[in-house]
């Protein structure tokens, strides 16, 4: 009987050890740019799997339109608290790139998404005359007025960071704070693309991606097909530190980029001119509005060895945070740390 008890006890211990070790078993690590995995699909995907936009899955998401000069601006909002407006990149991106990540701020902030004129669900301009940075700034101000917001936090990502900076310079009295993520600097020395954006992409991947871009240009693939297939072929390595999931790739392809004909070209010409003229250099030397700047160690699109120091110099009073395991999409690569920093920043803003 004693041996039986010991045997039974040993079985229980073995089961417990197995359960515990399985519970703490290391989960598979996500693929990163450093893995340099080359996994090019054998053929192009023309029928992209259908997934609904995340807007349809976010509970209590308010949707609507506001009137702007010669058109309407589409917007969404969720949460309560300090108002924060999100300006997406591009030119030609949509608000979808912020979903579902920024929903985690809704317990402390009134999170406002919108599509810029000429993109997403907002009005298009067949003449192209209103596709200007000046009009984009005025459209943003129209959104603030329509939503009856006295002051808000303005967050600009990538190219959207340029709009955010221009807005803050034009309407500082309505800016409670400014947040810039991987933003266009507006300074010529550091706004050019670098070969580093391709340093993690193999030659085989480059060849396939280039062929896909040519097919889009020639009309053999539509924009969504081009985006989906290029990301699957390794183009994600220019934007992210961690490989996105297939669902993320699908939604980026279907909803992330949606611009009217001619929009990107016109807006890019104007933004490039601002960079060439170093328009934003020294514009923020005496900037008193609280500013948070997020930069990635593995920034590829805007990469320059001195970029972070340039932002420090141009924003001497800003809080600058460097993310060690991020590419251009910091809030996607390191969401836990990013939103912890943003949340703390917003709490400090509330106090003041």
Peptide bond into 91 cis (omega under 30): yes
For the record, the structure tokens of 132 come out as: 């200007």
Residue whose tokens read 């010409």: 269
CATH fit for domain 54-196+255-351, picks 1.10.486.10, 3.10.20.30, 3.40.50.1820, 3.90.1150.10: 3.40.50.1820
Distance CA 185, CA 175 (A): 19
Identify which of 202, 200, 184, 210 has the alpha carbon closest to the alpha carbon of residue 304.
184
Termini Cα distance of the chain: 73
**Amino acid 300: pLDDT:** 85
**Amino acid 352: pLDDT:** 77
**Amino acid 279: pLDDT:** 92
Where does residue 58 rank: exposed (0-12), middle (13-18), buried (19+ CB within 10 A)?
middle
What is the pLDDT confidence band of residue 350, given thresholds at 50, 70 and 90?
confident
Average pLDDT, the chain: 89
Residue 10 has pLDDT above 60, yes or no: no
Residue 7 has pLDDT above 70, yes or no: no
- Please give the backbone phi and psi of residue 293, each rounded to the nearest 5 degrees, phi first: -120, 125
Q: In this prediction, what percent of the chain has a pLDDT beyond 70?
A: 88
What is the pLDDT confidence band of residue 22, given thresholds at 50, 70 and 90?
very low
For the record, the structure tokens of 16 come out as: 């417990």
**Amino acid 11: pLDDT:** 37
3-state secondary structure at position 67: strand
What is the pLDDT confidence band of residue 45, given thresholds at 50, 70 and 90?
very high
What is the pLDDT confidence band of residue 15, given thresholds at 50, 70 and 90?
very low
What is the pLDDT confidence band of residue 28, given thresholds at 50, 70 and 90?
low
**Amino acid 351: pLDDT:** 84
What is the pLDDT confidence band of residue 195, given thresholds at 50, 70 and 90?
low
Residue 302 has pLDDT above 80, yes or no: no
What is the pLDDT confidence band of residue 189, given thresholds at 50, 70 and 90?
low
Residue 191 has pLDDT above 80, yes or no: no
What is the pLDDT confidence band of residue 324, given thresholds at 50, 70 and 90?
very high
Strand order in the sheet with 71-78: 62-68, 71-78, 109-114, 82-87, 152-157, 175-181, 291-296, 319-323
Give the residue, 40 or 20, on which the prediction is more confident.
40
Buried b (16+ CB within 10 A) or exposed e, 142-155: bbbeebeeebbbbb
What is the pLDDT confidence band of residue 3, given thresholds at 50, 70 and 90?
very low
What is the pLDDT confidence band of residue 27, given thresholds at 50, 70 and 90?
very low
pLDDT digits (tens, 9 = 90+) for 245-263: 999 999 999 999 999 999 9
Identify which of 350, 349, 332 has the alpha carbon closest to the alpha carbon of residue 292.
349
Residue 1 has pLDDT above 80, yes or no: no
Least confident of 141-145, 197-201, 228-232: 197-201
Residue whose tokens read 């740019």: 33
Residue 6 has pLDDT above 50, yes or no: no
The pTM of the full predicted model, rounded to 2 decimals, is 0.89
Residue 137 has pLDDT above 80, yes or no: yes
β-strands 71-78, 62-68 pairing: antiparallel
Provide DSSP, 102-157: GGGGTTTEEEEEEPPTTBTTSPP-TT-TT-SHHHHHHHHHHHHHHTT-SSEEEEEE
**C-alpha distances in Å from residue 133, one per residue of 48, 181, 205, 268:** 33, 19, 35, 10
Residue 64's DSSP bridge partners are 75
């Amino acid at each position: 009987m004693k041996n039986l008890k010991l045997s039974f006890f040993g079985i229980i211990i073995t089961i417990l050890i197995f359960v515990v070790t399985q519970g703490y078993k290391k989960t598979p690590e996500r693929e990163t740019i450093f893995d340099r995995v080359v996994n090019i699909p054998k053929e192009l995907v023309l029928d992209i799997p259908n997934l609904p936009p995340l807007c349809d899955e976010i509970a209590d998401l308010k949707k609507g339109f506001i009137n702007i000069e010669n058109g309407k601006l589409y917007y969404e909002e969720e949460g309560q608290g300090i108002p924060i407006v999100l300006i997406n990149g591009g030119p030609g991106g949509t608000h979808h790139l912020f979903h579902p990540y920024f929903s985690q701020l809704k317990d402390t902030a009134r999170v406002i998404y919108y599509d810029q004129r000429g993109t997403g669900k907002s009005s298009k301009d067949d003449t192209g005359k209103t596709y200007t940075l000046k009009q984009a700034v005025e459209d943003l101000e129209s959104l603030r007025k329509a939503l009856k917001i006295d002051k808000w936090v303005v967050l600009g990502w990538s190219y959207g960071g340029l709009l955010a900076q221009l807005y803050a310079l034009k309407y500082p009295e309505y800016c409670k704070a400014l947040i810039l993520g991987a933003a266009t600097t507006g300074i010529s020395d550091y706004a050019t693309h670098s070969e580093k954006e391709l340093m993690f992409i193999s030659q085989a991947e480059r060849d396939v991606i280039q062929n896909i871009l040519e097919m889009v240009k020639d009309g053999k693939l539509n924009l969504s097909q081009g985006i989906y297939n290029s990301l699957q072929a390794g183009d994600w390595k220019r934007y992210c530190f961690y490989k996105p999931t297939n669902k993320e790739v699908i939604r980026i392809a279907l909803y992330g980029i949606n611009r009217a004909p001619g929009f990107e070209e016109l807006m890019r010409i104007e933004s490039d001119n601002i960079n060439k003229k170093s328009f934003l250099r020294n514009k923020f030397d005496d900037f008193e509005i609280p500013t948070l700047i997020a930069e990635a160690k593995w920034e590829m699109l805007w990469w320059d060895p001195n970029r972070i120091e340039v932002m420090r110099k141009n924003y001497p009073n800003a809080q600058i945070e460097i993310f060690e395991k991020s590419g251009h999409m910091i809030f996607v690569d390191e969401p836990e740390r990013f939103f912890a920093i943003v949340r703390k920043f917003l709490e400090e803003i509330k106090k003041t």
